[in-house]
Amino acid sequence: MNVSGTGARGDAPAIVVDGLTRRYGNLLALDQVSFTVEAGQTVALLGPNGAGKTTAVEILEGYRSRDSGSVSVLGFDPAYGGRSYRERIGIVLQSAGFEEEFTVGELLRLQVSLYPRRYDPDELAELVGLTDRRRTRVKTLSGGQRRRLDLALGLAGRPDLLFLDEPTTGFDPAARHHAWDLIARLRALGTTILLTTHYIEEAERLADRVAVLRAGRLVAWGRPSDLQERCGLPSRLSFRLPTGFTLERLPRMSGTVSVRDAQVVVHTYQALSDTRLLTHWAAAHHLELPALTLTPPVLEDAYLSLTGEPADDDR
């Protein structure tokens, strides 16, 4: 699959991957993966456990070798990029090891000193919302504050390209929204961002393009909305079964009907006519249909269909 997005800034692409293949013994972890990320785009890499995301990202970062295919990141081959390449990228891992006795301010000052195009440490603290923690020792930070520090350290050299590994895993909802705002700000500054995530909502909110890996193959690439459309999935009509009624008494609708804990779900390609049938039937029986909702297919449905994972109808 060879695909590309449309760059907003007219620069050379930030990432060009062509036919990337990586084996571990007999296991084909990446199988002829090709894609292009334009400068300034945010791309979310999705896929089930073991799909090859970490392998792909580490090859792009220059920390893992490839068996075949070509990779160009900011014009460098990451396998040979060296220091000049590393100064242009930022990497935020899920859990970086910190010097626990350092204060946040000390650590930020140390980190920025490693780069020629560095941030001012106070500006960096402000950017990630740690201004009032600059004198706090790292060992006393909360989990969420540590993740913000991770992010700040990854940004220290004002990278052109930022790799974010599951940037909000373990965050509470408020911290997650804060991180999303920050990522959106970085994107607005023109930073190209490649993030891996297991949160579909995160991809939907942040990404210009979504890449889906499955067993080492790139099975989808596109705008989040394109993937939803391309998968041609049914809408979901859902309501609570009125007391005293069984499924057999419902009107005959075009969609597939299932029920769990009295919540009925109809997967339908004819949402309007099935909704009309249902509401006419309810009116004729003088019934309310509690919790009646009609939901179009969302990115999560497309993702589950692309990766062959079972859908959860509890939503």
Ligand X SMILES: Nc1ncnc2c1ncn2[C@@H]1O[C@H](COP(=O)(O)OP(=O)(O)OP(=O)(O)O)[C@@H](O)[C@H]1O
Question: Cβ 83 to ligand X, closest distance in Å?
Answer: 25
Site string for ligand X, 33-72 (x = CB under 6 A): --------------x-xxxxxxx-----------------
Nearer to ligand X, 31 or 106 (CB): 31
Question: Cβ 53 to ligand X, closest distance in Å?
Answer: 3
Give how many residues touch ligand X by CB under 6 A: 11
* C-alpha span between 128 and 124 (Å, rounded): 7
**Which range, of 21-29, 135-143, 225-233, 264-272, touches ligand X by CB under 6 A?**
21-29
Question: Cβ 163 to ligand X, closest distance in Å?
Answer: 13
Q: Which residues contact 213 (CB under 8 A, 6 or more apart)?
A: 33, 45, 46, 47, 51, 52, 53, 56, 219
Nearer to ligand X, 8 or 27 (CB): 27
**Encoded tokens for 119:** 């941030």
Does position 27 bind ligand X by CB under 6 A?
yes
* C-alpha span between 94 and 83 (Å, rounded): 23
Classify 168 in phi/psi space as left (phi over 0), alpha (psi -120 to 50) or beta: alpha
Task: Pick the closest to residue 39 from 1, 3, 75 (CA basis).
Answer: 75
Nearer to ligand X, 47 or 129 (CB): 47
Task: Pick the closest to residue 237 from 214, 216, 253 (CA basis).
Answer: 253
Question: Cβ 34 to ligand X, closest distance in Å?
Answer: 17
Given a contact cutoff of 8 angstroms between Cβ atoms, the answer to whether 19 and 182 are in contact is no
Which of 14, 15, 20, 29 touches ligand X by CB under 6 A? Answer: 29
Classify 244 in phi/psi space as left (phi over 0), alpha (psi -120 to 50) or beta: left
Q: 């959860």: which residue's tokens? A: 312
Question: Cβ 63 to ligand X, closest distance in Å?
Answer: 11
Question: Cβ 193 to ligand X, closest distance in Å?
Answer: 18
Nearer to ligand X, 26 or 243 (CB): 26
Nearer to ligand X, 207 or 271 (CB): 207
Question: Cβ 46 to ligand X, closest distance in Å?
Answer: 9
Angle at 152 (CA atoms; ends 45, 43), nearest 5 degrees: 15
Does position 24 bind ligand X by CB under 6 A?
yes
The enclosing H or E element of 181 equals helix 173-188
Binding footprint of ligand X on the chain (CB under 6 A): 24, 27, 29, 47, 49-55
